[in-house]
């Protein structure tokens, strides 16, 4: 009798080892190596079947391109993140915290497509068909073209897709689906890899767009090996606080569009609704005339968004002052405070600093530097900036204010919402048309910006 061969696979990064180890050398995680039986390969080198689909190489000049129309979802925010709609044959992965609304979003998406006479197959491995029906009734989802299946066996899932031949498929979630040929448990590295590979084959051969849901770890990344994100065509993250109503859909990988786009939804009793003008939503609870509060015009992909940045500076009670930031890179706060202390002369070394982006938005572009610096200076001096000001600019280590991209769209969004003045880098003053309802102030340094925003 042949001896059974096994290997140990890390469930976090996919590292393989012939023997068990307490600590994974690949990701330095403890107790993540799980024993898996090695499947026998056939003479042809393929798993189990031994079939091949050999193709001959073609000259790149002889390949004909046919632009395929994208499938409009009926949800503008989702279409924007996807790059204009769903591409036929694409495999899209959606990740997010438990209870954030991934299943709700996909069920509403399935309903929108089904109403356009597209056959949709919604496969749930975590809920029964009755549980899915209960959620569908709560969301007022009902269509004869929407089919629901509760199945976890990959062979049965593939057979149902072949029989129905739908125009859209949802797998909720990939961690529950398994293949019998793979001896490891569902959700393991091997199972996730093999099932995703099978779904990718189905999507490409049949030109069926497939959306799969992926669980996330406590660190916020999608569970399983990074290979899962490399295999799919697009990776979307559904973010937001469970106790807040706003949800943000971001694309971190997209082979058919930009990864800088952001879609904003609001969770209501009847489901997710689109937020078409997020600037108004983020500013509706703004406190005017308060020190430490500024407005920045940030770009999320091709969309300008006006967001409030708040700063609180208070004397420290400890030897080392605290530096805390929510919604921006926490390393940016001490950097900007060092610039203010060295170039402007503000004594901040004995002050605690707390900086927050209101509304639960995460900003990571350098154009928000000037607004953060003015918020810190405003709170330190206890002087409120002008409520009708918008600030945009990158701050360098020498205190200079550097130019930013898409300044015209930022200023137009500020003018549309009634702001009277925009403080921007002086290098961005030329080459575009300024709206009549807003005044432009160009600054070359942080000192000039503080004088314009807090002293004029």
Q: SS3 for 52?
A: coil
Residues, the chain: 456
Residue 326: strand pairing partners: 356
**Is 99 annotated as belonging to a binding site?**
yes
297's torsion region: left (phi>0), alpha (psi -120 to 50) or beta?
beta
Tell me if 253 is assigned to a ligand binding site: no
Q: Is 25 annotated as a binding residue?
A: no
- Could you count the other beta carbons within 10 Å of the beta carbon of residue 413? 20
Answer yes or no: is 3 a known binding residue: no
Dihedral of CA 137/138/140/146: which sign? negative
Rounded Cα–Cα distance for residues 7 and 303 (Å): 49
In sequence order, what DSSP letters do the residues of 226-266 get, joined into one string?
Answer: THHHHHSSEEEEEE--TTSSEEEEEEEEETTS-SS-EEEEE
Helix, strand or coil, per DSSP, at residue 249: strand
Q: What are phi and psi of 203, to 5 degrees?
A: -65, -45
Cα–Cα distance, 185 to 59 (Å, whole number): 43
Q: Is 98 annotated as a binding residue?
A: yes
Determine phi and psi for 252, rounding to 5 degrees.
-100, -10
Burial label for 117, CB within 10 Å (0-12, 13-18, 19+), is exposed
DSSP E strands in 38-114: the ranges are 91-96
Buried b (16+ CB within 10 A) or exposed e, 262-294: bbbbbbeeebbeebeebbebbbeebeeeebbbb
Q: Does the annotation flag 145 for ligand binding?
A: no
Count CB neighbours of 227 within 10 A.
Answer: 14
Cis peptide upstream of residue 318 (ω within 30 degrees of 0):
no
Whole-angstrom Cα distance, residue 204 to residue 201? 5
Asked if residues 121 and 109 have their Cβ atoms less than 8 Å apart, the reply is no
Q: Which whole-number Å values give the CA distances from 60 to 63, 64, 65, in the listed order? A: 5, 9, 11
Question: Residue 23: what are its φ and ψ, rounded to 5°?
Answer: -115, 130
Return d(Cα 443, Cα 396) in angstroms, integer: 13
Q: Is 96 annotated as a binding residue?
A: yes
In angstroms, the CA 299 to CA 179 distance is 44
Q: How far apart are CA 353 and CA 25, in angstroms?
A: 38
110 is in an annotated binding site: no
Sequence ranges of the binding site for ATP: 96-103
Sequence ranges of the binding site: 96-103
């Amino acid at each position: 009798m042949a001896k059974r061969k096994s290997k140990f696979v890390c469930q976090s990064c996919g590292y393989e080892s012939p023997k068990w180890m307490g600590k994974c050398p690949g990701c330095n995680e403890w107790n993540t190596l799980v024993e898996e039986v090695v499947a026998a390969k056939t003479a042809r080198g393929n798993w189990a079947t031994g079939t091949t689909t050999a193709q001959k190489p073609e000259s790149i000049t002889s390949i004909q391109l046919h632009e395929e129309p994208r499938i409009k979802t009926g949800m503008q925010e989702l279409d924007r993140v996807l790059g204009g709609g769903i591409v036929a044959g694409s495999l899209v992965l959606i990740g997010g915290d438990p209870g954030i609304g991934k299943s709700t979003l996909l069920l509403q998406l399935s309903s929108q497509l089904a109403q356009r006479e597209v056959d949709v197959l919604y496969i749930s491995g975590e809920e029964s068909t009755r549980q899915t029906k209960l959620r569908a009734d709560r969301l007022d989802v009902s269509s004869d073209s929407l089919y629901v299946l509760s199945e976890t066996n990959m062979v049965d899932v593939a057979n149902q897709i072949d029989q129905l031949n739908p125009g859209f498929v949802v797998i909720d979630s990939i961690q529950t689906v398994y293949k019998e040929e793979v001896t490891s448990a569902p959700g393991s590295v091997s199972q996730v890899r093999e099932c995703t590979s099978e779904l990718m084959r189905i999507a490409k051969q049949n030109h069926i767009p497939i959306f799969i849901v992926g669980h996330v770890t406590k660190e916020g990344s999608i569970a399983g090996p990074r290979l899962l994100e490399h295999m799919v065509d697009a990776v979307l993250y559904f973010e937001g606080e469970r106790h807040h109503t706003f949800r943000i859909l971001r694309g971190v990988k997209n082979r058919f569009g930009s990864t800088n786009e952001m879609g904003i939804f609001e969770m209501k009793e009847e489901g997710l609704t689109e937020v078409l003008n997020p600037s108004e939503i983020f500013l509706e609870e703004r406190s005017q005339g308060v020190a430490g509060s500024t407005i920045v015009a940030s770009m999320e992909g091709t969309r300008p968004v006006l967001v409030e940045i708040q700063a609180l500076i208070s004397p420290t009670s400890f030897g080392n002052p605290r530096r805390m930031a929510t919604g921006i890179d926490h390393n940016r706060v001490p950097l900007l405070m060092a610039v203010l202390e060295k170039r402007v002369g503000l004594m901040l070394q004995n002050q605690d600093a707390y900086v927050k982006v209101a509304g639960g938005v995460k900003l990571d572009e350098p154009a928000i530097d000037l607004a953060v610096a003015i918020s810190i200076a405003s709170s330190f001096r206890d002087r409120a900036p002008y409520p009708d000001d918008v600030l945009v600019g990158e701050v360098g280590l020498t205190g200079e204010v550097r130019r930013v991209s898409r300044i015209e769209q930022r200023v137009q969004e500020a003018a549309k919402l009634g702001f009277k003045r925009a403080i921007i880098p002086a290098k961005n003053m030329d080459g575009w048309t300024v709206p009549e309802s807003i005044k432009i102030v160009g600054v070359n340094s942080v000192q000039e910006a503080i004088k314009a925003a807090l002293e004029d």
